[in-house]
Amino acid sequence: MQVDHDILIIGGGMVGAALAARLASAGLSIGMVERGDKPTAPEGDYDLRISSLNVRSLELIQDGGTLLPEDRLCPFRHIEVWSQGGGGHSLFSSADSELERFGVFIENQALQHALWQRLETLSNATIYTHCSPVATLAGRGSRFVELDDGRSLSARLVVGADGARSRLRELVGIPVSTYDYHQRALIINVETELPQQDTSWQCFTPTGPLAMLPLPGHRASLVWYDEEASATVRESLDDDALTQAIERSFPARLGGITRITGRAGFPIKRQHAQRYTTNRLVLIGDAAHVVHPLAGQGLNLGLHDAASLADTILLGEDPGDARDLRRFALQRRLANQAMLTATDGFHHLFTGPEPLRRLGDLGLQLSEHLPAAKRWMMRQASGLN
């Protein structure tokens, strides 16, 4: 049967574009549908949305032939976690796991731009911008997707990588389970007196963590998690008042703030699709699962879905084979559920009542003093488990 593409990916975000680059590099015909604009390269001040890419995610990006902009990456080699009050403290160093680094921090926009640039060099990849699916139907050996610009496309497999509010997931009626943490994350990009180097740190407080993601030079991305009401008030402070609030509440090691370059608040929710696959269709990335961002693993899980789906497709004969897709879905659901449960546990341990918080402190102390547990957690952070 004649189809337009081997694989049609809905959503050209970081996860969809990474899968597209990986599969197109291996010679498959790929279509990618994106409702927004083609991404541009970030310039000047750093974009607010920053993500960590762990070792396994970097491998997928490399396998797809994508070159990341070295000048806007910040490698990190240490992760330090402690609880306010000093009851528990843990320091993880990549050298202890014989890794050169745990990964890098990169702007979401820089990663997406690099992936699209790679796709533009591949003649077997077609990008359709400014359009979105309005209907989809599975036939024999293929699935059709009708777009809102009147076009209709067919493929042997359709992949939903269109984010947490996936339209494709809605069109095929896959329900989601959601949980609202009633928390917001205020992301603040700052320039600091001190260089921020290669340690990412996080301090747990009873109202939510305070985190610092290092960016090149004297720059950092701060993430301030808090209950909804207090976070909303803080989001409306002017730059001077916000600088003072940061200097009062963040650990002294951050040093003085010389400039706030951007900020935005995000609600925190968890979400899990009840199924990842149906006839010749599969969900990956945030379309399938949204985790609490405190462990910086949401994008990594999505890229691991993409890596695992690419392996399944490249090893099989028919990318839409139901048995292969079910095997993929089972394997990824277990990994994703484990991370959803772990981040949920961290949240409740450190924001719960005093006895629970003490248990959290004990967990941090144990992870610091049990080398096997520490190694396991480091491999988890780098995506190698």
Ligand X SMILES: Cc1cc2nc3c(=O)[nH]c(=O)nc-3n(C[C@H](O)[C@H](O)[C@H](O)COP(=O)(O)OP(=O)(O)OC[C@H]3O[C@@H](n4cnc5c(N)ncnc54)[C@H](O)[C@@H]3O)c2cc1C
Give one DSSP letter per residue of 272-299, joined into a string. EES-SEETTEEE-GGGTEE--GGGS-HH
Q: How many CB atoms lie within 10 A of CB 55?
A: 20
CB 138 within 8 A of CB 145: no
**What's CA 159's distance to the chain center, in Å?**
17
Nearest to 214 by CA among 75, 323, 83: 75
When binding is defined by CB under 6 A, the residue of 6, 107, 226, 286 that contacts ligand X is: 286
Q: Does 159 bind ligand X (CB under 6 A)?
A: no
* Minimum separation from the CB atom of position 365 to ligand X (A): 25
CB 143 within 8 A of CB 279: yes
When binding is defined by CB under 6 A, the residue of 9, 12, 107, 367 that contacts ligand X is: 12
Sequence-distant (≥ 6) Cβ neighbours of residue 102 within 8 angstroms: 52, 54, 55, 76, 77, 79, 92, 94, 378, 381, 382
- Tell me whether residue 214 or residue 293 sits nearer to ligand X (CB atom): 293
Q: Does 20 bind ligand X (CB under 6 A)?
A: no
CB 349 within 8 A of CB 359: yes
Stretch that binds ligand X, among 28-36, 69-77, 243-251, 308-316 (CB under 6 A): 28-36
Query: What are 267's strand-pairing partners?
Result: 184
* Minimum separation from the CB atom of position 297 to ligand X (A): 5
Q: By rule CB under 6 A, what count of residues binds ligand X? A: 30
When binding is defined by CB under 6 A, the residue of 161, 203, 281, 309 that contacts ligand X is: 161
3-state secondary structure of 218: coil
- Tell me whether residue 167 or residue 374 sits nearer to ligand X (CB atom): 167
Q: Does 13 bind ligand X (CB under 6 A)?
A: yes
* Minimum separation from the CB atom of position 249 to ligand X (A): 18
- Tell me whether residue 9 or residue 357 sits nearer to ligand X (CB atom): 9
Give one DSSP letter per residue of 242-255, joined into a string. HHHHHHHHS-GGG-
CA atoms of 370 and 376, how far apart (whole Å): 10
Stretch that binds ligand X, among 155-163, 189-197, 333-341, 350-358 (CB under 6 A): 155-163
Report H helices in 36-187: 55-63, 108-120, 167-171
The CA-based diameter of the chain, rounded to the nearest angstrom, is 65
Stretch that binds ligand X, among 20-28, 158-166, 172-180, 228-236 (CB under 6 A): 158-166
Half-sphere exposure of residue 125: CA atoms within 13 angstroms, side-chain side: 27
* Minimum separation from the CB atom of position 302 to ligand X (A): 4
- Tell me whether residue 113 or residue 357 sits nearer to ligand X (CB atom): 113
Report H helices in the chain: 14-25, 55-63, 108-120, 167-171, 228-235, 239-249, 298-315, 322-351, 354-369, 371-381
- Tell me whether residue 42 or residue 87 sits nearer to ligand X (CB atom): 42
Write the interaction track for ligand X spanning residues 252-271; mark x where CB under 6 A is met and - where it is not: --------------x-----
* Minimum separation from the CB atom of position 90 to ligand X (A): 18
Residue 357 corresponds to which tokens in the numbers above? 């918080």
* Minimum separation from the CB atom of position 255 to ligand X (A): 22
**What's CA 354's distance to the chain center, in Å?**
31
Query: What are 83's strand-pairing partners?
Result: 204
* Minimum separation from the CB atom of position 208 to ligand X (A): 12
CB 36 within 8 A of CB 46: no
When binding is defined by CB under 6 A, the residue of 8, 14, 30, 188 that contacts ligand X is: 14
Residue nearest to ligand X (CB): 13
* Minimum separation from the CB atom of position 87 to ligand X (A): 25
Q: Does 47 bind ligand X (CB under 6 A)?
A: no
> Which 49-68 positions form the footprint of ligand X (CB under 6 A)?
51-52
* Minimum separation from the CB atom of position 240 to ligand X (A): 24
When binding is defined by CB under 6 A, the residue of 21, 185, 210, 313 that contacts ligand X is: 185
- Chain residues in the site for ligand X (CB under 6 A): 10-16, 33-36, 51-52, 132, 161-163, 167, 185, 187, 266, 285-286, 293, 296-300, 302
